[in-house]
Amino acid sequence: MKKEFYLNITLLILINLLIKPLYLFGIDAEVQNQVGNSDYGTYFALFNFLYIFHWVLDPGIQNYNTQAISKDRDSLQLRLGYTLASKCLAAILFVGIAGLLSMLFFGQEYWQEIILVAASMIALSFIVYFRTHFSAIGQYYTDSLLSSLDKLLLILSLGYLLYLSEIEMSITLFIQVQFISLIVTLLIVGLLFIRRFGGIRLNFDVSQIKGLLRNSFPFAIVFILMSLYSRMDGIMLKSLVDDQAVSAGIFAAGFRVYDAMSMIGMLFASLLLPMFANVLSDKEKLSELYESALRLLLIVSTLLGIIAYLYSEEVMYAIYTAASQSHVEVFQWLTISYYLVALTYVFGTLITASGKLKKLNWLFVLGIPINFSLNCWLIPDLQAVGAGIATCITQAVILIGQIVLVYRQFHFKVNSNLILHYSLLFGVIFATSLMIHYSLSWHFILEVGLISIIGVVYILGSRFLRLDFILGARSDAP
């Protein structure tokens, strides 16, 4: 199980590291540079507002379906008809509810953007739905290859518009191209799905759909609550700060890089959910997979988090033509948040795979008033920086709560050697990074490369991660 996990997560990360950062920094960031913080900030707030209602579009169906099929792969064909029918009905409901409320909140002048963003979310939801079937039956390689197809199409199409054509970029054009790319991706993924699993027949059996929604409801609650406490920042910035959404644009600039770094954790979660669900009944394999994922994610988040924090100014000014000190401060707080969130992709995914979500949902309920109150308190005085601080504090509370829940639910033994080993390793890497950052005057990319190489040497030299451990051999690492 360790070997399978490491091989697939390595493939998944490599594919996404090649494509998604290129999209985020070469395409998405350039769109913001060309249209400005105000227009992009409005789009960011609009996207987040619609995203809060994503639970209507997918009321927990995808996660429940992945978990259920991973446990019983023979049930895939039986589930396919009514799960797909349920998603079609949910898509219609999503357009009605989210579209109407968005027009009331933002105004009817944004009707075209609202419809296109909502339609893009629907297309992406069906893409992910089809992909989950490949991962649920163990075809992680296929899922990995499909995971960045939409971004590859966007790089080609928007790259031409931004860098080779004389067409003036606008937010509306940006959204239109996104929609077209997602539709093309959906057609490709859908055809591959039909080829692998056979024809698609919708089954609108009311009793089966009701049963599906009842079973998937706890997963929907998880998504609703997470969306509320993690996506309200951009919306509240636009509402509480009267600056034509400039503060929302500044927060969006930092959030973009934060989102790119979080991509690795999300990839872990997408791979771990079916793998955790598949070994829940075997405590030894579950514990082994859990520690393998935690070790690797601790290392990745530590290296990436330290580098991003120390070189936050260089990163922001390299990406954005209108970068300011506010951009840097926001990103520093989001960098700390990234480290906290990265670890939740192991703890939260394990709880989700178990299907016992009641306590996790109550934890997320707690996160909503904390984030809302902090934003109300900090945003009026600190604007985007205040939203960054609020995000950081909220994620710290959520992480601590998830750690407690995991150890209580699964009765894992607290590995004090692992904690001490990691703490010493973190301290050494951080101290070395500080020394390189403040004593050398190289180009920051060269310094980052040196920190990365030294960090990997420390990690392997300290035997926190071992090559034979990664390859699936027996490990005596603490």
345 plus 472 within the same structural domain: no
Query: How many structural domains compose the chain?
Result: 2
This prediction's pTM: 0.74
403 plus 440 within the same structural domain: no
Residue 168 DSSP one-character state: P
Decide which of 413, 430, 461 is a domain's last residue.
413
Tokens of 388: 């960054």
Decide which of 413, 430, 458 is a domain's last residue.
413
Closest CA to 378 of 368, 369, 388: 388
b (16+ CB within 10 A) / e for 109-148:
ebeebbbbbbbbbbbbbbbbbbbbbbbbbbebebbbbbbb
375 plus 458 within the same structural domain: no
Please list, in sequence order, all residues whose beta carbon lies within 8 angstroms of the beta carbon of residue 296, skipping any fewer than 6 positions away. Answer: 6, 9, 268, 465
Q: pLDDT for 163-202, tens place per residue?
A: 998 899 999 999 999 999 999 999 998 898 888 877 677 7
pLDDT at 477: 39
Residue 242 DSSP one-character state: -
Q: Are 282 and 47 in contact (CB under 8 A)?
A: no
Residues of the chain with pLDDT under 70: 1-13, 15-17, 65-78, 135-141, 144, 199, 466-478
pLDDT at 283: 85
Compute CA 222 distance to the chain's CA centroid, rounded to the nearest angstrom: 14
478 plus 354 within the same structural domain: no
34 plus 167 within the same structural domain: yes
455 plus 323 within the same structural domain: no
Tokens of 293: 């994922």
Expressed as residue numbers, the domain containing 443 is 415-478
**Torsional sign, CA 143, 148, 153, 154:** positive
Residue 469's Cβ-count burial label (10 Å; 0-12, 13-18, 19+) is buried
Decide which of 364, 384, 413 is a domain's last residue.
413
* Distance (Å, whole) CA 418 – CA 413: 11
Q: pLDDT for 424-443, tens place per residue?
A: 999 999 999 999 999 988 98
